[in-house]
Amino acid sequence: MQLFYNEALCSTTKQITFDKVESKHIVRVLRKKEDDILKITNGKGYLFDVKISIANDKKCTADIIAITKKIKPWNYDLHIAIAPTKNNDRIEWFLEKATEIGIDEITPLICSNSERRVVKIARFEKIIQSAMKQSLKFTLPKINSPKSFNEFINQNLEGTICIAHCKEQEKKLLKSIVKPSEKVTILIGPEGDFSSEEIKKALSKKFTPISLGKSRLRTETAALVAVNSICFINE
């Protein structure tokens, strides 16, 4: 199934006009014609069946003929706050794979040892949208604007809140503290790890220090291990 994305679609929408890029892709690449059916999601758990009424490669138009509510395939609520990597390709890889597995929210986290402090949210959004379509999911993960470490931990966070770090301190395995079907927030630090002061502040805010295993992991690998672990816990 070829899945398209349009966040503006809702239950009252009757017709959609694709932009120039998608119109060209639909008509010239996919060779779609009038009366052909396309599948579109709004990223909010809905699938729209649309029938092409005007197959124009500059302004393709389609009528909505059916709307289906799609249940989210994972039963947990996962928020990963991750320090952006120096190499953008690495965090973009994480965004893609996490979306494929199942994640609800992502926040770029600016820490004392962060290698990158400026990120392109629009670029991240495109990667997440593409991964959602490729993996045939109908719920788009939320990508937040970057937050400083202090700003993030001082929020009113619900559910289980954890911080993954590499310091030689007492830590619990993620699987030992997370219960199925609950909201979980996990902090993943930069390559230089969280500072001792940051860890101390997180613990004072009732974050549970966790271990993701015996190996020392890169930032994006640690974040993906956390996502995969939550997925397995909820199977």
Q: What CATH number is associated with residue 54? A: 2.40.240.20
Confidence of residue 39 (pLDDT cuts 50, 70, 90): very high
Domain count, the chain: 2
Q: Which residues contact 35 (CB under 8 A, 6 or more apart)?
A: 51, 52
Contact 6, 39 (CB under 8 A): no
Nearest-angstrom CA–CA distance, 75 and 30: 34
Range of the domain at 42: 3-69
Check whether residue 93 and residue 197 sit in a common domain. yes
Q: Do 27 and 62 reside in the same domain of the chain?
A: yes
| Interatomic CA distance for residues 142 and 19, integer angstroms | 23
Query: Hey, what amino acid is at 206?
Result: K
pLDDT in tens, 157-192: 999 999 999 888 899 999 899 999 999 999 999 998
CB 208 within 8 A of CB 160: yes
List, for residues 66-84, the tens digit of each pLDDT value: 999 999 999 999 999 999 9
Q: What is the CATH classification number for the domain harbouring 214?
A: 3.40.1280.10
| Listed residues 13, 34, 69: the one ending a domain | 69
CA distances from 23 to 1, 40, 41, 117, 132 (A): 18, 14, 16, 36, 20
User: Which 8-state DSSP code applies to residue 141?
Assistant: P
Let me know whether 92 and 190 are in one domain.
yes
Query: Are 57 and 110 members of one domain?
Result: no
* pTM of this structure: 0.94
